[in-house]
């Protein structure tokens, strides 16, 4: 699994959730986490969440950290939703390490009762995808600046730490798979 943290600003418009985006954009053909910071403005045609789409909701932020995760080992929707919840818990753990205490409801994190994150998971014929976004600044929702993580260097460190931690977890899982014997074999 590979982690790419983009050094320049890059906006999220929803098209990045498409299959093979990391390959088309960066030549990455393996499971990946691509992390970037920029504005977020998801157009209705890119909305995956049908409740948001039916309600004509807007998903936007003037400054958001986005994690685009792609796995090629399955197209199981239940598995990618489990991975999305795991990623949410991992982000919560890292925020706690930064001294930021959040609450979690499913795949959402809240800071002082305000929604801090957006996330969606889905599958295609070739892969599973997750978009997880966390507001750096926002005048309505929870954000990292209000939590004391507003300096560019702090945000960059957070992006690196979380992206690399997710990769380490999956590398560790792969190692565990290769040392566990099947049930019933002595």
The owner of tokens 């990391």 is: 22
Edge-to-edge strand list for the sheet holding 32-42:
2-5, 32-42, 59-71, 128-137, 117-123
Confidence of residue 181 (pLDDT cuts 50, 70, 90): confident
The owner of tokens 């998903």 is: 59
Question: Looking at residues 110-123, what average pLDDT do you find?
Answer: 96
Domains and CATH numbers, the chain: 2-169 (3.30.930.10)
Beta pairing, strands 114-115 & 2-5: unpaired
Q: For the whole model, what pTM was predicted?
A: 0.93
**Smallest Cα–Cα separation from 33: which of 76, 75, 90, 78?**
90
pLDDT tens for 62-101 read: 999 999 999 999 999 999 999 999 999 999 999 999 899 9
* pLDDT of the residue at 183: 84
Give me the residues paired with residue 115 across strands: 110
Question: Looking at residues 121-149, what average pLDDT do you find?
Answer: 96
Cα separation, 163 vs 157, whole angstroms: 10
């Amino acid at each position: 699994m590979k982690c790419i943290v983009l050094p320049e600003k890059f906006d999220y418009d929803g098209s990045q959730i498409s299959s093979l985006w990391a390959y088309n954009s960066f030549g990455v053909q393996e499971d990946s986490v691509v992390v970037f910071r920029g504005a977020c403005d998801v157009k209705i045609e890119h909305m995956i969440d049908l409740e948001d789409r039916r309600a004509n909701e807007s998903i936007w932020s003037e400054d958001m950290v986005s994690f685009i995760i792609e796995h090629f080992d399955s197209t199981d929707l239940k598995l990618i939703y489990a991975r999305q919840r795991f990623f949410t818990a991992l982000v919560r753990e890292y925020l706690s390490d930064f001294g930021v205490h959040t609450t979690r409801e499913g795949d959402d994190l809240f800071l002082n009762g305000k929604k801090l994150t957006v996330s969606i998971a889905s599958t295609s014929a070739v892969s599973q995808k997750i978009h997880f976004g966390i507001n750096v600044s926002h005048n309505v929702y929870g954000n990292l600046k209000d939590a004391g993580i507003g300096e560019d260097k702090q945000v960059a460190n957070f992006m690196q730490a979380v992206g690399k931690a997710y990769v380490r977890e999956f590398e560790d899982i792969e190692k565990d798979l290769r040392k566990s014997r099947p049930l019933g074999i002595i």
